[in-house]
């Protein structure tokens, strides 16, 4: 069967069933006769978790993976959803039925619809305040943690305002003006002057030095992060995006949960006014764009580990904490189909590298022996069809809905065909996303709402 046809036939009954079940819970919530205890109007500690590109099926496949292969639960489901409130958010942009990350994050951060490509800027050109800017004005400390570049669309929309998401240097300069107490992620290339190797700035500004002049401690590796102290910290752990969890150098590069733990320690120390902490896993979206189910699952698991830290914090301060877990949009239209079993999950688990790393290992001009050796070493038990092998060797994209890199697309198709984990496309979809809320004000996020309501509720709580 033509792989492009095979993948385009991905089914969504599981996702639809999940949405319907969730909707019933929203419209018929459990009630008791007892009056709820009085709570503070505003939470002192706010966690915002964004699984960039993460849909309901991404979460469910990860939950099944944890349950069947590791005898573990998923904190998002077992703790946040079961103890708190659950809702759905629309994802469309002002100018499209399908959003990009900047328009979606602007809705979540500012409470207004935006055009695709705009960061912290409403569709009418108005520059609104973000929830993080307002939180800082109230005296709260603010922090941003991401395994993307810190200037990427999602974190940038909570801290900056530009008409085009690719104005990276401007976004970095706006971080310097905002002065978040904690800023951890990738993207060192926009912080160093153009004269230094790896820089992508067009000027000679040394933004790291500028942060240090404002009292920031600067770290660039996992060991440095574990030791960092002080009221303000800047951590840049890669030139561009940080690694997929499958590929991460665990001795040098911190994980998302390790960055979250460090941010929590730094923000909490000597803090009487509270904090707002944004944690984003961009790799979930990147894996979706590459149709890389193995990388997606491992990064979603790491995302859940970070959420578990917030849940532990909530258990200590339940009357002062709000934990929010959501996504900006869904990427890829992922779904199991064709009645897979645990065997398919085990095959996915056997994959030890990301598809982008596999393409990097093959290089730009792979030969047949190298392709076959790569599959034998890193995708044990899988086999490339003649058609997929030819696509790699001749650098032929499988179709318009596949990743633009022929090697990534062909390997992704191989995995899908043999594990029954199918994708609609390598792009974003218009699916609604879940929002799970636990703690002070969690009830506001229940039900089916527009993604702009997410920010409006936060503004009301600040």
Digit-coded pLDDT (tens) for 204-226: 999 999 999 999 999 999 999 99
Mean pLDDT calculated for residue range 398-409: 98
1-5, 41-45, 59-63, 123-127: segment of lowest average pLDDT: 1-5
54 has a pLDDT exceeding 60: yes
Percent of the chain's residues with pLDDT above 90 = 91
Read off φ and ψ for residue 188, nearest 5 degrees: -65, -20
Categorize the per-residue pLDDT at 14 as very low, low, confident or very high, splitting at 50, 70 and 90.
Answer: very low
**Alpha carbons 445 and 85: distance in angstroms, whole number:** 7
Q: What is the pLDDT of residues 296-324, one digit of tens each?
A: 999 999 999 999 999 999 999 999 999 99
Q: What is the pLDDT of residues 325-335, one digit of tens each?
A: 999 999 999 99
Q: What is the mean pLDDT of the chain?
A: 93
Residues assigned a catalytic role: 101
pTM, whole model, 2 decimals?
A: 0.92
Quick one: pLDDT at residue 36?
Answer: 47
For the chain, the domains span 13-24+42-334+429-461, 350-422
Assign domain 13-24+42-334+429-461 to its CATH architecture.
3-Layer(aba) Sandwich (3.40)
Q: How many CB atoms lie within 10 A of CB 148?
A: 25
Q: Tell me the sheet residues that pair with 163.
A: none
Categorize the per-residue pLDDT at 19 as very low, low, confident or very high, splitting at 50, 70 and 90.
Answer: very low
Angstrom distances, CA of residue 385 to CA of 372, 381, 418: 11, 13, 11
Best CA proximity match to 260, nearest among 188, 310, 318:
310
**DSSP sequence for 177-218:** HH--SEEEEE-GGGTS-TTSTT---SS---HHHHHHHTT-EE
**Alpha carbons 96 and 181: distance in angstroms, whole number:** 35
Best CA proximity match to 261, nearest among 332, 309, 320:
309
Quick one: pLDDT at residue 41?
Answer: 72
Contact 194, 188 (CB under 8 A): no
Burial of 198 (0-12, 13-18, 19+ CB in 10 A): exposed
Q: What is the pLDDT of residues 333-385, one digit of tens each?
A: 999 999 999 999 999 999 999 999 999 999 999 999 999 999 999 999 999 99
Q: What is the pLDDT of residues 143-169, one digit of tens each?
A: 999 999 999 999 999 999 999 999 999
28 has a pLDDT exceeding 50: no
18 has a pLDDT exceeding 60: no
Categorize the per-residue pLDDT at 189 as very low, low, confident or very high, splitting at 50, 70 and 90.
Answer: very high
Instruction: Look up residue 438 and give its DSSP letter.
Output: E
4 has a pLDDT exceeding 80: no
Best CA proximity match to 200, nearest among 211, 189, 191, 209:
189
20 has a pLDDT exceeding 60: no
Q: How many CB atoms lie within 10 A of CB 396?
A: 13
Q: If residue 459 lies in a helix (H) or strand (E), which one and from where to where?
A: helix 451-461
12 has a pLDDT exceeding 60: no
């Amino acid at each position: 069967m033509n792989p492009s046809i095979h993948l385009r036939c991905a089914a969504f009954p599981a996702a639809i069933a999940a949405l319907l079940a969730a909707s019933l819970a929203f419209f018929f919530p459990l009630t008791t006769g007892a009056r709820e205890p009085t709570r503070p109007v505003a939470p002192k500690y706010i966690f915002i978790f964004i699984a960039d590109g993460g849909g309901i099926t991404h979460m469910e496949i990860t939950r099944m993976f944890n349950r069947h292969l590791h005898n573990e639960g998923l904190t998002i489901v077992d703790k946040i959803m079961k103890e708190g409130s659950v809702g759905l958010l629309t994802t469309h942009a002002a100018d499209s039925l399908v959003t990009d990350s900047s328009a979606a994050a602007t809705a979540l951060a500012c409470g207004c619809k935006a055009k695709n490509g705009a960061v912290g800027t409403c569709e009418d050109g108005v520059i609104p305040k973000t929830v993080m800017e307002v939180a800082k004005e109230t005296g709260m400390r603010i922090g941003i943690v991401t395994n993307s570049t810190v200037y990427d669309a999602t974190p940038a929309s909570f801290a900056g305002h530009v008409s085009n998401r690719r104005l990276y240097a401007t976004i970095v300069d706006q971080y310097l003006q905002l002065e978040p107490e904690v800023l951890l992620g990738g993207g060192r290339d926009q912080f160093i002057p153009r004269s230094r190797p790896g820089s992508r700035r067009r000027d000679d500004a040394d933004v790291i030095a500028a942060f240090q002049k404002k009292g920031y401690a600067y770290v660039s590796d996992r060991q440095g992060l574990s030791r960092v102290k002080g009221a303000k910290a800047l951590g840049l752990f890669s030139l561009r995006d940080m690694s997929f969890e499958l590929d991460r150098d665990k001795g040098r590069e911190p994980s998302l949960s390790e960055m979250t733990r460090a941010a929590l320690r730094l923000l909490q120390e000597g803090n009487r006014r509270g904090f707002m902490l944004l944690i984003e896993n961009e790799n979930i979206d990147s894996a979706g764009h590459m149709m890389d189910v193995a990388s997606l699952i491992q990064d979603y698991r790491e995302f859940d580990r970070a959420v578990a830290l917030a849940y532990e914090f909530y258990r200590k301060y339940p009357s002062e904490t709000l934990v929010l877990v959501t996504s900006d949009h869904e990427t890829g239209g992922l779904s199991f189909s064709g009645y897979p079993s645990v065997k398919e999950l085990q095959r996915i688990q056997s994959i030890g590298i990301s598809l982008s790393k596999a393409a990097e290992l093959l290089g730009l001009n792979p030969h047949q022996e190298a392709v076959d050796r790569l599959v034998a070493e890193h995708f044990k038990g899988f086999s490339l069809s003649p058609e997929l092998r030819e696509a790699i060797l001749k650098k032929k994209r499988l179709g318009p809905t596949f990743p633009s890199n022929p090697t990534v697309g062909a390997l992704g198709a191989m995995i899908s065909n043999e594990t029954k984990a199918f994708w609609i496309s390598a792009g974003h979809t218009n699916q609604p996303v879940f929002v799970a809320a636990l703690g002070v004000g969690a009830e506001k996020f229940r039900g089916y709402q527009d993604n702009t309501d997410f920010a409006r509720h936060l503004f009301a709580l600040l």
